[in-house]
Every structure is written in structure tokens, then in C-alpha cells.
Structure 1
């Protein structure tokens, strides 16, 4: 199964409704965005995706740094049951498997390593993962995740997350392990790091400001987190991203 197009995009101010002759999956990597599909609006973040049927008017906007994998394809490429499900319910919760696949492809595209062969293998795996329905509690975590993605700089604690999700702290830990495969603290760290990498890749703001916007105590805390995750400092990561974009142009 080969898609029509696969890319990473970021969204800003609403430029009005759009429509196209192909179907489209919007798969958030970092940050949050508002998507209205034919009058049905929702805030998307990692763990929540959207499907836009060909010809359907839709608009997208965001007031925060964001990055999404955009997959253009045709419903005819999908199994009938999957096509019907996505057309009926444009906003879907993602299983941990689907989220990991999206993160992987985001990395491949960012490093210019998303070859046609890689994409051809990845796409059916993603579609299969989308067909696996998450537990019903995921919708509660999806709303919480959207809040955190929209403002990672808040002093999020397990107690604060549990209060927002209207569950006990112990229940929150259980839900995170079941639905996201991580503890609330580990997941929050991943969100902040993804946000930081997004800002470093797409924004000229200072590294200290990136650290502040993503919830790190200071620039040194961000540097330690980046070194653990990537083996690079924020400055080195930003230089690499700029060089990669320059070569791709």
C-alpha cells in the first residue's frame, strides 16, 4: 500500500476552510492543533488522530508549536470496514502501537530516511494499528493529553493530572500503563522533549526560552534531557535540523 503523499507539517493561524480530492490522515507528533472537519471540531495532540474524507471542508489552526505526520491516500486503499469506520468517526484514539509507529516515521522523515520502500512497509502497519480499538478509558486520557500538550510548561504532577482526568492517582497510573505504556511522569518527559525538539527544529527562539515553554526548570535541565535522549545538546540538535532542511531544499 503506497500513499499519495507523506510529510511533516506545522500549522499556525486559520487560513479558512480547505478541501481536496484525496483522503487524509492527520497524525500529531508534538504540540496541539485545532481541527474542524465539516463542523465537527476537536483539539488534537499525540495519541489522537483525525481522518478527513476527500471533498470534506476542513480548517486547521494552532497557537503553539506543533508537528504532525500527514498521510494522503484514498479510501479504496483501505479495507471496507476500516474505511467506513474512519469516514463515520473522523477523530480517533490511537493505541500505543500506532503512536510508536507515527513517532518512528516522524523520525525517519525528519532525518530524510523515509524511502519509498520504508513508507510502503510502514503504511499497512499503521492502518492495522488504527484498526485496533483502544480501551474506552483512552478518551479520558486523550483529553488530558491534549491539555498537557497545549501547555507543557505548567507544573504537572500526577495529582494534578488525576484531578483533570477525574480519577484517583492510582487509577491514573494504571490507565497510563495500559493505554500509553508508560508512567505519567515518563510520558510527560516524552511530551516535553518532543515539544522542545519541535521548537528547536522550527523556531528561532532562544534555547532558554524553549526550555521555559516546555516546562524545564532552566536551560541546563533541557540540555541534560536532550543529552540523555539524543546524545546531543540543544544547540547541536538545532544545527543538525537546519542543515538537514537546507540539504533537502
Structure 2
């Protein structure tokens, strides 16, 4: 493998544990997927992807209709600082530019000779232009239940509230609070599937004011309440080999 290569993949059944000698970017085009890398689980969707360093054990399970663009990077294509950073912070907040790129990269005829790695590094490497925004997104993911006001997020990035709104609109096509809401719901879904905690406890830890607020958010996205979603998520894939 002398250059990055890409593959469009769907995951109708769990992959089981995998490991390879090259790094990999996992970029969802559509759908909701459960992902685990080096023992840490999380959810992927068109707003969040993941990075897998060479030698890391990982597994992926799709939920319903899904599709991911997988970009493989050969050994030596990433410098040590970038590789260590992405190993420590593997979750990627996908900006609108990345989602637009994904649509084009789905068709190799339109991108012959185009290597997406420079753009990925611009968005996600510690020295890239997107580093401060990605750092904020990582902090929100780590503590979704904190009081993430626009003023607090703007202070974290070092910009005004109006500038933060402009940045989020440009990068994610969402307001800062709408992006926080999507992050909280993603975290709550992960907890509903991966823990036995009560729905009320999950709602409060995710930053919802009450159980019913989580119910409304989940119904808007999936059409299911938390108990229904948990039952369906728990049973999904049980009968597959």
C-alpha cells in the first residue's frame, strides 16, 4: 500500500474484532453505528467519525441502513505527533467540508488521483487549522452533562459568542447548542445500549433537565422512546453469527 486507498462499506452484521498494520479513518456517510477501538466504545454517525491507529483492535456494528467511507493510510504517512494525538483522541467531529467531501469520494470516477489525506490532516491533526475546534468538541464529548453555554464554549476557543456561532454554522451547519444537543443524544444512545443505568440517570448525566427531555430528543431522531430504543439496540445483531 503506497498511497491512501478508500472503500465504501456497509455493515449489515458486526465485524468482530479486527487489527491491521495500517491506520484507518472511519467516516460515516449515513446511518448510526456502534464502534469500539482499544476497548473504548462510542457511536458514529454523519457528525462523528473515528480514527484507528495501526495495531489497534477495533470492531464496528451497524444499526439499520448504514454506509461508511473507509480511508486506509500506509505506514509512514502520518508523523509521530499526529499519530499519537489521533490515538489519544480518536473521535472526529466531522465538519461540513468533510461531509461534502465524503459525498464526492463515494464515486472514484470523480476523484481519480485525489488524495484526501491533506484535508483530513488540516481538520484533525494537532497542528491543523481545525485543532482548536476539535479540542472543544472533544471536551464536550467527554463531559456532555456539563453546562455548555455558548459563552463557555466561546471562551474555550478564545472567540466571541457571535464568532463561535459563525464557526459552527460554517463547519457543522448547526448552532453551537444544536451541536451540543446532538452530542448529548449520541452519548445517551451509547449509554442506553452499553449500560444498565436507569433512563433517568442517563438523561441527567447527558445534560437533559429531565427524563422527558431525552425522550423527546430521541423520538425526534429515531421515532422511538428510550425503552424501545434500548430494547431494539440490545437485540440488534444477536442472531447473527
TM-score (norm 1): 0.60
Tell me the secondary structure at the aligned position of residue 23 of structure 2: strand
| Residues 21/154 of structure 1: CA separation in 2 closer, same or farther (3 Å cut) | closer
Counterpart in the other structure of 2:23: 24
Counterpart in the other structure of 1:78: none
**Could you tell me which of 175, 180, 188 is aligned with 1:196?**
188
* Correspondence 1:228 to 2:220: yes
Partners of 1:48 and 1:164 lie apart in 2 by 22
Partners of 2:166 and 2:51 lie apart in 1 by 26
Q: Where does structure 1 lack aligned partners over 5 or more consecutive residues?
A: 11-19, 36-44, 61-68, 76-82, 103-119
Counterpart in the other structure of 1:111: none
Counterpart in the other structure of 1:40: none
* Correspondence 1:138 to 2:121: no
TM-score (norm 2): 0.62
CA-to-aligned-CA distance 1:7-28 (integer Å, 9 cap, x gap):
6899xxxxxxxxx652132659
Q: Over aligned residue pairs, what C-alpha RMSD do you find? A: 4.5
Instruction: Report the structure, 1 or 2, having the larger helix content.
Output: 1
Deviation at 1:4, TM superposition (A): 11
Counterpart in the other structure of 1:247: 239
Partners of 1:101 and 1:219 lie apart in 2 by 37
Partners of 1:101 and 1:247 lie apart in 2 by 36
Q: How does 1:1-249 map to 2 (within 5 A)?
A: 1-2=6-7, 21-25=20-24, 27=26, 49-50=50-51, 52-53=53-54, 73=72, 75=74, 85-86=77-78, 89-90=82-83, 91=85, 94-98=94-98, 131-132=118-119, 133-134=122-123, 137-249=129-241
